[in-house]
Amino acid sequence: MLKQLVEKIKSEEIDVEELVEKKIEEAKKINEELNCFITICEDYARKRAKEIKQKIKKGEATNLKLVGVPFTIKDNILTKGIRTTAGSRILLNYIPPFSATVVERIEREGAIIIGKTSMDEFGFGSFNVNVGVGFKIPKNPNDTSRVCGGSSGGSACATKTLEIPSLAESTGGSISAPSSFCGVVGLTPSYGKVSRFGLIDYASSLDKIGTMALNVEDSFLVYDTIKGFDENDETSRSEERDSELKKKLAIPKEAFDSCEKEIKEKFMGSLKKIGWEYEEVSIPLLKFSIQSYYIIAMAEASTNLARYKGIAFGAQENVEEKNFREYFTKIRSENFGFEAKRRILLGSFVRSVGYKGQYYYKALAIRKKIIEEIEKLFKNFDAFVLPAMPIFPPKIEEALSLSPEKVYALDICTIPWNLCGLPHISIPIKEENYKQLGFEVVCNRFEEEKLKKLSLEFENKLK
């Protein structure tokens, strides 16, 4: 539990430099086996540990909430001076000149970053197998022949094995999926609650930074330090809402039906343990949330990735003799992975002349309608509950062989909430082998407090 760890660090019962040294060693060892880190920033971490130690000795750390806590950060969140790649070769040697707001906020509370974790390139994946050119696929800590889930696979793996929290990111379910597959708690806040300044963009209207930890209380503790309006991100918003507790849960039928039999059984078993009243609800539009999400996400991604073309940062080479089309095409084609290229191209396609109405604008309409439908349902229920993923972690080769449209469809348990910007959490249902499953709870927009209340209770009952 983070609170206790922080107390022990403040009282110097645990020596912060020793702790950090221990975690660095563990990280290096784990990484050799599981490939969950892209960068382990040991020098930086040691320097920070020294600083924090000074602060503690001077008595300046008494009010800080994360003093000495080692953290990992998903590699699409900028850390000043520490290489940040977004999992892509096109940023293989990129050193950010500034840190993301969330990084500044946790460091202000005394957090110590020890490494940047593996991810699908730019977030383009659900299994963390779409890694960038030359990057390694992280392995599931419960069964190393299987995937971690994605796109925040490295973060989930590191959180599970090193037992330290992580800042991760979700666009379509990239916190819930790996949390579910690896067996950690993954919290995805409402869109806008956490600043995206310094997050390498995938889809600007869908990206959310969230937290991973070993328990619900810790995931919210970290969330509390990063949440809130940031003037550097004009889409951020500090709003907090509450609603009457109805003590009723809803199971979204269309998502639940897509799950494997064993998943459904495991989930229903847990639901019974929780003991709340529940009802299956049908949202017919839900199955189209997949199309709506991917169309919007790819369209936005295709614009967000247009800055990577070999000028001023990222992969660059000799420009002479090539005209700009040749140069840009070479840099981009050689340094983007296949999935990244696919999403850029399909994203350009769906917003192109002649197709924009039937794809892009239609997708926006679907999104709006789903938001309205779900809003109505929240009048009668406190939360949606369902399995975080419809399958157990597949083997790595299996994941690599799946055709893309099948992979996209497997996001059904997370995409609807991500599309609508709703806060949700994945709580691991205790399991020893690879058959990990996250119990997902979804609340209404800006109702993080209610989500916290529910998840603490459910976690307790699922122990």
Token couple for 201: 């963009």
Instruction: Decide: is 183 part of the binding site for another protein (CB under 8 A).
Output: no
401 binds another protein (CB under 8 A): no
Q: Cα separation of 247 and 271, whole Å? A: 13
Examine residue 204 and tell whether it contacts another protein (CB under 8 A).
Answer: yes
| 198 DSSP assignment | T
Rounded least distance, CB 449 to another protein, Å: 17
When asked if residue 311 is in the footprint of another protein (CB under 8 A), the reply is yes
Residues 368, 379, 430, 461: which binds another protein (CB under 8 A)? Answer: 368
CA separation, residue 356 to residues 183, 240, 345 (Å):
40, 35, 14
Q: For residue 348, state whether it binds another protein (rule: CB under 8 A).
A: yes
- Interaction of residue 376 with another protein, rule CB under 8 A: no
Active site residue 174: yes
Footprint (CB under 8 A) of another protein, residues 219-258: 229, 231-239
Shortest Å distance, C-beta 408 to another protein: 7
Measured from the CB atom, the residue of 202 and 392 that comes closer to another protein is: 202
Residue 158 vs 305, nearer CB to another protein: 305
What are the start-end ranges of the H helices in 92-195?
A: 101-108, 153-162, 176-182
Neighbour-count burial of 261, counting CB atoms closer than 10 A to its CB (0-12 exposed, 13-18 middle, 19+ buried): exposed
Cβ neighbours around 32 below 10 Å, total: 9
For 60, what's the count of Cα atoms within 13 Å in the CB-facing half-sphere?
Answer: 9
Number of C-beta neighbours around residue 218 at 10 A: 22
Q: Does 276 bind another protein (CB under 8 A)?
A: no
Catalytic residue among 88, 126, 151, 292: 151
- Helical packing angle, 216-226 and 2-10, nearest 10°: 70
Q: Tell me: does residue 83 bind another protein (CB under 8 A).
A: no
Site residues for another protein, 90-129, by CB under 8 A, read 91, 94-98, 100
> Which of these is catalytic: 23, 55, 74, 116?
74
- Alpha helices (H) along 137-198: 153-162, 176-182
Size of the site for another protein (CB under 8 A): 104
173 in contact with another protein (CB under 8 A)? no
Handedness of CA 149, 191, 448, 228 (dihedral sign): positive
CB of residue 450 to another protein, shortest distance in Å? 18
Instruction: Report in angstroms how near the CB of residue 348 gets to another protein at its nearest.
Output: 5
By annotation, the residues acting in catalysis are 74, 151, 174
